Amino acid sequence: MDRVPLERKVLSENDRIAAELRARFQEHNVLCLNIISSPGSGKTSLLERTLETLPRHDRVAVLTGDIQTENDANRLKRFLFPVKQITTGGTCHLDARMIERHLADWPLEDLDLLFIENVGNLVCPSSYDLGEAAKVVVLSVTEGEDKPLKYPSIFFKSDLMVLSKIDLLPYVPFDMNAAAENARKVHPGMEIVKVSCLTGNGLHEWMTWLEQRRSAHKSPVEAVS
Ligand SMILES: Nc1nc2c(ncn2[C@@H]2O[C@H](COP(=O)(O)OP(=O)(O)OP(=O)(O)O)[C@@H](O)[C@H]2O)c(=O)[nH]1
Ligand SMILES: [Mg+2]
């Protein structure tokens, strides 16, 4: 089969499984967020700071994807929430089948929030729907403010851009306003938070965004009670 029809077939099979996952997340009221960035932008660090802040009784879990190693899962397990590593063995993105397989022994009725940390890559993960309610793209200040223009797909598809490592701003030439402008050229009205996982600056804005998404996601009955 030619490459293009084959790719199309793979993506439509992925979309089918992702639609099933989305329906299951909705049925059980699980908010699923798919966190995407280039390697090393600070996805796991953001999750570490998030899990550290959330109350222990919160029904939160993480699936974290990498090509190799259990490193990220080991970092995140310290916070005592359920965490599983997905090692893709070479694939540059997670797909819906991997999520389905790794959720098989996690009853969704026990969860309210599922974070998926995608494989570090700004390109491939943007084509693979994982059934998430929203994608979140992380861009660190060491990567250059032009990245939303160079990799528009992921910025277009993400609800939120987390500008990370802002503690490094004194040391790198990075124009925050230009980065925001570029992101909003690709995705008008895109929400943006600026954080440092090192100093904790801006994490409050991220947690506020997260809590707003969580309460908007709850069923009307739950939200009232
Ligand atoms: N200065 C600074 N360093 C940070 C910050 N957040 C993360 N880092 C560092 O950046 C490096 C990569 O962070 P990770 O959290 O592992 O990044 P990641 O996106 O999960 O990386 P992959 O999963 O490999 O794609 C580590 O050395 C972190 O300590 C930050 O806010 N400020
Ligand atoms: Mg990571």
Name which residue sits closest to atom 21 of ligand 1, judged by CA: 40
Query: pLDDT truncated to tens, each residue of the chain (225 aa)?
Result: 577 777 777 789 999 999 999 999 999 999 999 999 999 999 999 999 999 999 999 999 999 999 999 999 999 999 999 999 999 999 999 999 999 999 999 999 999 999 999 999 999 999 999 999 999 999 999 999 999 999 999 999 999 999 999 999 999 999 999 999 999 999 999 999 999 999 999 999 999 999 999 999 885 555 554
Report all structural domains of the chain as residue ranges with CATH numbers, in order of start. 15-215 (3.40.50.300)
Q: Output 81-85 pairs: Cβ under 8 A, ≥24 positions apart.
A: 81/51, 81/54, 82/106
Kindly give the distance from the C-alpha atom of residue 2 to the centroid of ligand 1, in angstroms, as a whole number: 39
Q: Which residues share a beta bridge with 33? A: 115, 134
Residues 6+ apart with CB under 8 A from 54: 60, 81
What is the best residue among 44, 47, 86, 154 to mutate for testing ligand 1's pocket, by most ligand atoms within 8 Å of CB? Answer: 44
Q: Centre a 10 Å sphere on the Cβ of residue 90 and count the other Cβ atoms it contains.
A: 7
Distance between CA atoms of 211 and 33, rounded to whole angstroms?
Answer: 12
Among the bound ligands, the one closest to the CA of 62: 2
Q: Which two tokens stand for residue 62?
A: 């993480």
| Ligand 1 interacting residues, C-beta cut-off 6 A | 37, 39-45, 66, 72, 120, 164-165, 167-168, 196-198
Name which residue sits closest to atom 27 of ligand 1, judged by CA: 40
Alpha-carbon separation of residue 88 from 94, 99, 119 (angstroms): 7, 11, 9
Pair type for strands 31-36 and 134-140: parallel
DSSP state of 58: S
